[in-house]
Structure 1
Amino acid sequence: MSRLVLTGVDLVAVGLLVFALYFPRHRRRDLAMAYLGVNVGVFAVASSLSAAGAGAGLGLGLFGVLSIIRLRSTELDQHEVAYYFSALALGILGPLAGSSIWTVTGLSALVLAVTYVGDHPRLLRRYRRHVMVIDTAISDPAALVAHLEQLLGARVHAANVERVDLVNDTTVVDVRYSLPRSGAGADAGRRPVEAGAAR
């Protein structure tokens, strides 16, 4: 299989991943650059390993090492982790696939299609997760859920207490909830105050 064709397929795929999917939806320039750099870097190394006769096991080991290094360097949201692994997969797919250009193209398209659907704004758009600080110390689970539902105006599916501070009269809770159907589009005006970024 022509190395030039493989390179073209990878560049088109990662370009679509970053500039057609990730950046228009999330607008983080630093991660857009990171995804491009990771993809092209992995593609170059995997191509060299493939040309030297290295097995797929070595390529997968490289995949794992790069994943550990990248994920330990900064905290990423789960959707950013998904894009990161998609960029890695696209970079390593062609050089180590050992298949026809149509197989590589089809698998790359599959990665892009799943990412497009999985991160689509309309998919499960009523469901939210936040880490919140409540200005009341509440230890009773039923009372906590009732308080959160009144505060959020939404149905609470899970409320995991992370800390109850009886001195400062606060509760830190990881809450998963769904907005009512009538408020599904009012994201900007209905977001509660968070203790930090959703993890």
Structure 2
Amino acid sequence: MAAGLAMDLMAIFILAYGLYYRRHHRRDLLFAYVALNVGIFAVVSLLLLQRIEIAVGFGLFGVLSIIRLRSSEITQQEIAYYFVAIALGLVNGLAATWPLTALALDGILLATMYVADHPALLGRTRHQVVTLDVVHADPDLLRVDLESRLRARVLQCVVTQVDYVRDVTVVDVRYIAPNARASVR
């Protein structure tokens, strides 16, 4: 169990501090990833030590799965970090049985996150919710207005709300930032 704990702490440190925090700078989620990971590790280790039947284990994880992630906005990217934090806890909790396999899986999970979330991969693509002080009936005029305001090429825009009384439009925009230099870490 000590080897599994050491591997788990090393893996979550790399994921939470080395990758996530350095790239996204959200301290609240960094703490959540570490706490969730260590909690999962502890539960899995306890299940293995007590030789509790697999049905109880699945029931426990069923309960964990219904817990809603409550926070300010959580992106799909941050949910992926949650999933990997859980997977690392599970893998390393089972590490006593197969330590080399667990170490290899840790490496695969961390390498995947490093590459998939690397700023150089899709660093210029941005997402933003924009509130405009005008309502555009023509989608082409909306796109031109957004490109002018954002000074960027709009890839996709979806109107999520229109208020004709206040003359306001809320638009979910995906665009390519001009000359955006992604920091490579």
Normalized against structure 2, the TM-score is what? 0.87
Work out whether 1:184 is the aligned partner of 2:185. no
Work out whether 1:143 is the aligned partner of 2:141. yes
Matched residue pairs, number?
182
Flag the 1:11–1:69 CA change in 2: closer, same or farther, 3 A: same
Deviations 1:2-27 (A, max 9, x none): x2111111111111111211222222
What is the aligned partner in structure 1 of residue 28 from structure 2?
30
Flag the 1:120–1:55 CA change in 2: closer, same or farther, 3 A: farther
Deviation of 1:121 (Å): 1.6
Where structure 2 has 5 or more consecutive residues not aligned to the other structure, the ranges are none
Letter in 1 for 2:170: V
What is the aligned partner in structure 1 of residue 80 from structure 2?
82
The answer (yes or no) to whether the contact 2:4–2:96 under 8 Å persists in 1 is: no
Flag the 1:119–1:186 CA change in 2: closer, same or farther, 3 A: closer
RCO (CA 8 Å, sep 6+): is it higher in 1 or 2? 2
Identity across matched positions, percent: 47
The answer (yes or no) to whether the contact 1:63–1:88 under 8 Å persists in 2 is: no
Flag the 1:5–1:147 CA change in 2: closer, same or farther, 3 A: same
Where structure 1 has 5 or more consecutive residues not aligned to the other structure, the ranges are 188-199
The answer (yes or no) to whether the contact 2:120–2:182 under 8 Å persists in 1 is: no
Separation in 2, partners of 1:28, 1:58: 34
Separation in 2, partners of 1:165, 1:54: 57
The answer (yes or no) to whether the contact 2:19–2:114 under 8 Å persists in 1 is: yes
Work out whether 1:164 is the aligned partner of 2:162. yes
Deviation of 1:98 (Å): 7.6
Letter in 1 for 2:112: V
